[in-house]
Amino acid sequence: MRPACASLDGDALRHNLRTVRAHTRARVMAIIKANGYGHGLVWVAKNLPDADGFGVASLEEGLELRAAGIANDICLLEGFFEPTEIPLILSERLTPVIHESHQVTALQRFPGAGPLDVWVKVDTGMHRLGFPVHELTKVMADLRAIPAIRQIGLLSHLASAEIPSSSSTSQQIGVFAGLESTTIRSLANSAAILQWQAAHGDWVRPGLMLYGASPIPGKMGADFGLKPVMTLRSRLISVRRRVRGDAIGYGGTYLCPEDMSVGVVGLGYGDGYPRELSSTVSVLIRGRLAPLIGRVSMDMLNVDLRSIPEAQIGDEVILWGQGLPVEDIAEAAGTIPYTLLCGLTQRLPRRDL
Ligand SMILES: *Cc1c(COP(=O)(O)O)cnc(C)c1O
CA gap 284, 277 in Å, rounded = 15
The CB-side HSE value for 302 (13 A sphere, CA atoms) comes to 23
- Is the minimum distance from the CB of 190 to ligand 1 under 6 angstroms? yes
pLDDT higher than 80, residue 279: no
Residue 274 CA to ligand 1 center (angstroms) comes to: 23
Please indicate, yes or no, if residue 242 is contained in any of the structural domains: yes
Please indicate, yes or no, if residue 135 is contained in any of the structural domains: yes
Give 130 or 279, the one with higher predicted confidence: 130
Please indicate, yes or no, if residue 218 is contained in any of the structural domains: no
Give the mean pLDDT of the chain. Answer: 97
Please indicate, yes or no, if residue 187 is contained in any of the structural domains: yes
Which residues are known to be catalytic?
A: 33, 250
Please indicate, yes or no, if residue 140 is contained in any of the structural domains: yes
Same domain, residue pair 252 and 194:
no
How many residues are present in the chain? 353
Cβ atoms of 317 and 265 closer than 8 Å: yes
Among 182, 212, 242, the domain boundary falls at 212
CATH number at residue 110: 3.20.20.10
Note the pLDDT of residue 182: 87
Residue 183 CA to ligand 1 center (angstroms) comes to: 21
Note the pLDDT of residue 224: 98
- Is the minimum distance from the CB of 155 to ligand 1 under 6 angstroms? no
The CB-side HSE value for 349 (13 A sphere, CA atoms) comes to 10
Note the pLDDT of residue 276: 86
Same domain, residue pair 323 and 205:
no
CA gap 245, 74 in Å, rounded = 58
Same domain, residue pair 50 and 167:
yes
Report residue 271's pLDDT band, with 50, 70 and 90 as the boundaries.
very high
Please indicate, yes or no, if residue 1 is contained in any of the structural domains: no
- Is the minimum distance from the CB of 77 to ligand 1 under 6 angstroms? yes
Please indicate, yes or no, if residue 261 is contained in any of the structural domains: yes
CA gap 197, 174 in Å, rounded = 13
- Is the minimum distance from the CB of 207 to ligand 1 under 6 angstroms? yes
pLDDT higher than 90, residue 280: no
CA gap 54, 31 in Å, rounded = 6
Report residue 277's pLDDT band, with 50, 70 and 90 as the boundaries.
confident
Note the pLDDT of residue 241: 98
Note the pLDDT of residue 247: 98
Residue nearest to atom 8 of ligand 1 (CA): 207
Same domain, residue pair 17 and 101:
yes
Nearest atom in ligand 1 to 208's CA? 8
CATH number at residue 234: 2.40.37.10
Mean pLDDT of 104-120: 91
CA end-to-end span of the chain, whole Å?
17
Report residue 38's pLDDT band, with 50, 70 and 90 as the boundaries.
very high
Nearest atom in ligand 1 to 161's CA? 7
Mean pLDDT of 31-36: 98
What DSSP assignment string belongs to 6-65? Answer: EEE-HHHHHHHHHHHHHH-SSEEEEE-HHHHHTT-HHHHHHH-TT-SEEEESSHHHHHHH
Mean pLDDT of 40-51: 98
Nearest to 295 by CA among 268, 270, 318, 261: 268
Same domain, residue pair 270 and 186:
no
Query: What kind and span of H or E run contains 351?
Result: strand 350-352
Residue 351 CA to ligand 1 center (angstroms) comes to: 25
Same domain, residue pair 193 and 323:
no
pLDDT higher than 90, residue 112: no
Same domain, residue pair 200 and 250:
no
Mean pLDDT of 246-265: 97
Residue 77 CA to ligand 1 center (angstroms) comes to: 9
CA gap 307, 287 in Å, rounded = 11
Same domain, residue pair 84 and 198:
yes
Note the pLDDT of residue 254: 97
Report residue 110's pLDDT band, with 50, 70 and 90 as the boundaries.
confident
Using a pLDDT cut of 90, give the percent of the chain over it.
Answer: 95
CA gap 2, 5 in Å, rounded = 8
In the chain, the number of structural domains is 2
pLDDT higher than 80, residue 278: no
Cβ atoms of 260 and 304 closer than 8 Å: yes
CA distances to 157, 242, 293 from 26, rounded to whole Å, are: 16, 58, 47
Same domain, residue pair 133 and 199:
yes
Report residue 41's pLDDT band, with 50, 70 and 90 as the boundaries.
very high
Please indicate, yes or no, if residue 107 is contained in any of the structural domains: yes
CA gap 84, 81 in Å, rounded = 9
CA gap 148, 143 in Å, rounded = 9
Report residue 305's pLDDT band, with 50, 70 and 90 as the boundaries.
very high
Mean pLDDT of 278-285: 89
Q: Which amino acid is at 191?
A: A
Residue numbers of the domain that contains 43: 10-212
pLDDT in tens, 170-211: 999 999 999 988 899 999 999 999 999 999 999 999 999 999
Strands (E), 215-349: 230-242, 247-248, 254-255, 260-265, 282-285, 288-293, 301-304, 316-320
Same domain, residue pair 266 and 124:
no
Note the pLDDT of residue 180: 86
pLDDT in tens, 127-172: 999 999 999 999 999 999 999 999 999 999 999 999 998 999 999 9
Burial class (CB in 10 A: 0-12, 13-18, 19+), 71: exposed
Same domain, residue pair 110 and 190:
yes
Same domain, residue pair 315 and 271:
yes
Nearest to 22 by CA among 200, 174, 159, 163: 200
